[in-house]
Amino acid sequence: MNFLPKKLIFFNKKKLYISSFSILIPLTLSLGYSISSWSNPLPSLGSDSTVTTLQEEFQIGRKVYSNIKSSQTFLDYPLLEDFIMHKLSKLLLSDKFSEEQRYSNFQSFNRVKIFFIDDEKLNAFALPGNFIGLNKGLITKVKDHRELFAVLCHEIAHLTQRHISRRYSARKDSNNLMLMAALLSALIIGSGGTDSALGALSLGQTMAMKKELEFSRHAENEADKKGMEYLLDLQIHPKYMTQMLDRIQQQTFLAGRNETSSWLRTHPLTVERLSDLSGRVANKNFKSSIVENNETEEVFDLLIGFFATAKNLYLKENISTDIARKHYSFWQALNTDRNIDAERIIDEVVQEVNLREIKSTGVKNKILKISKINYLLKLKQLEKASSQVSFLEKDGIPNWMRRTLLRLKMSILFLKNEQTDFKTLSRLSSQLYPNDDWFLKKRAFMAFKNGNKMEAHYYFARAYIVNGMDRYAIEQLSTALEFYNDNKILRAKVNAELQRLKKK
């Protein structure tokens, strides 16, 4: 019998797509929405009684994020995610930003969270509740990491100015909030892209939904202005915003009208808007507040290598170093089972970086060693992998690398079946990263591996709880109680958690 919860292993995109719109259509008809009612102008910022609350925004965003995370379109790359968030922290944790958002409690329910989508189109999108999705195509096709941060600052501006909540303010009852979550999930991960997903609706509803996902010109201008301010706070020149917008516009034009998922579909770019942005950049002297950091660009280029697969052969334009190109080639070789080539490339690159950095404690060297550990894990060379992990721990690593290293260490202990050390590290990791369900799922799989099914279902339930999927958590906890376990403390935890969820 297979006791593994299927929803944690596979995600049926077709099922989500059908269920989302089967709910959407009758509700839309029964509520009597028309195209005009979907396109109401933004209410003023002072209309607090009509604006969706932060808690409601978070409910929508977490639901969409959970659906995406359960799908095959979700890409889990904590090293790149944490590097980007580390760079954004200069803005998000600054006194200026905190003071600016003091009255709105902007991050009270959820700090800004980025995630990656397996889509080659140049796209990024902000979700209610401070979630920002980045397409793989956007990350790998920017000419410079500062262009990516220009897009991110624009999306953060949409969140801080609460443009999304103001769009939904007239439809803020609980049914519509969950309806919007289902819709957004289907649009992002629906089979065949946005147009295929919207094909399930009538013509009028399709036009309404597309209109709903678009920001107004006023919102775009506001996000441009705030986004430029945020870029300066990151000590990045605003010219990267105009460069990125101009290039996205050109690529969208060359791709033709069917390029419906591009960033410009939901962020309309007019001649006046681009002219205004260019004028702002040209009329100000930004030199005193700008720091050009080529080291960051080289690190970013190395991290892009983790995206290399057999299917995707494209590489970021203007790659900064030959080392980054070779690192990309290493991951392509590893992901296509060319293990001999992978070992040769990674050893060659590590040696080259050691010569350039003089000492082996540089950031680039550590990234390459993490790649080498992944190679050793694939080949089940566990002692060598453990040795590399110990080396990194001894030398010290930046905080943004710590989550990835903990995952690698837990994977080694899992394969070695060293249960005591594994559980100790699992508890520590879950305390440090309570919102990362990877650690909870790994703990569950270790329990299954050793025949402790109650413990396994308990940790799968906790993973669901982290993602706000209480219904599935209740199912897992109920299943856990069906198995005998002489651990009275564990049984008490299962019962307590089950009762808590049922009372919500």
Of 235 and 217, the one with more pLDDT: 235
| DSSP category for residue 135 | E
Strand partners, 138: none
Looking at per-residue pLDDT, the higher value among 436 and 3 belongs to 436
Q: What is the pLDDT of residues 402-448, one digit of tens each?
A: 999 999 999 999 999 999 999 999 999 999 999 999 999 999 999 99
The reported pLDDT for the residue numbered 31 is: 27
pLDDT for residue 9: 38
The one-letter amino acid code at 263 reads W
Range picked from 10-24, 146-160, 166-180, 293-307 for highest mean pLDDT: 146-160
Q: Phi, psi (5° rounding) for residue 477?
A: -65, -40
pLDDT in tens, 375-404: 999 999 999 999 999 999 998 999 999 999
User: Which pLDDT score, from 0 to 100, does residue 293 have?
Assistant: 64
Look at residue 167 in the predicted model and tell me its pLDDT. 63
Residue 165 has what pLDDT? 67
DSSP class per residue in 15-37: HHHHHHHHHHHHHHHHHT--HHH
Lowest mean pLDDT among 93-102, 154-163, 296-305, 423-432: 93-102
Task: Tell me how far CA of residue 103 lies from CA of 100, 106, 109, 164, in angstroms.
Answer: 8, 8, 14, 18
110-127 mean pLDDT: 88
**Exposure letters 148-186 (e unless 16+ CB within 10 A, then b):** bbbbbbbbbbbbbbbbbbbbbbebbeeebbebbbbbbbb
Looking at residue 40, the DSSP 8-state letter turns out to be P
pLDDT band of residue 15 (cuts 50, 70, 90) is: very low
pLDDT digits (tens, 9 = 90+) for 62-108: 888 998 898 888 999 999 999 999 999 999 998 888 887 766 676 76
Q: How far apart are CA 79 and CA 82, in angstroms?
A: 5
Given pLDDT bands bounded at 50, 70 and 90, which one contains residue 207? Answer: very low
Name the residue among 67, 262, 25 with its Cα closest to residue 181. 67
CA separation for the pair 181, 30 (Å, rounded): 18
Distance between first and last Cα of the chain: 32
Average pLDDT across the chain, whole number? 77
Nearest CA to 375 among 413, 414, 332, 406? Answer: 332
Higher-confidence residue of 286 and 299: namely 299
pLDDT band at 498 (very low <50, low <70, confident <90, very high): very high
How far is C-alpha 177 from the geometric centre of its chain's CA atoms?
Answer: 21
User: For the chain, what percentages of helix, strand and coil (3-state, to nearest 5) are there?
Assistant: 70, 5, 30
CA dihedral 105, 108, 112, 116 (to 10 degrees): -140
Q: What is the pLDDT of residue 502?
A: 93
Q: Which residues contact 158 (CB under 8 A, 6 or more apart)?
A: 126, 164, 215, 219, 223
Pairing of strands 131-135, 113-117: parallel
Instruction: Answer whether residue 127 shows pLDDT above 50.
Output: yes
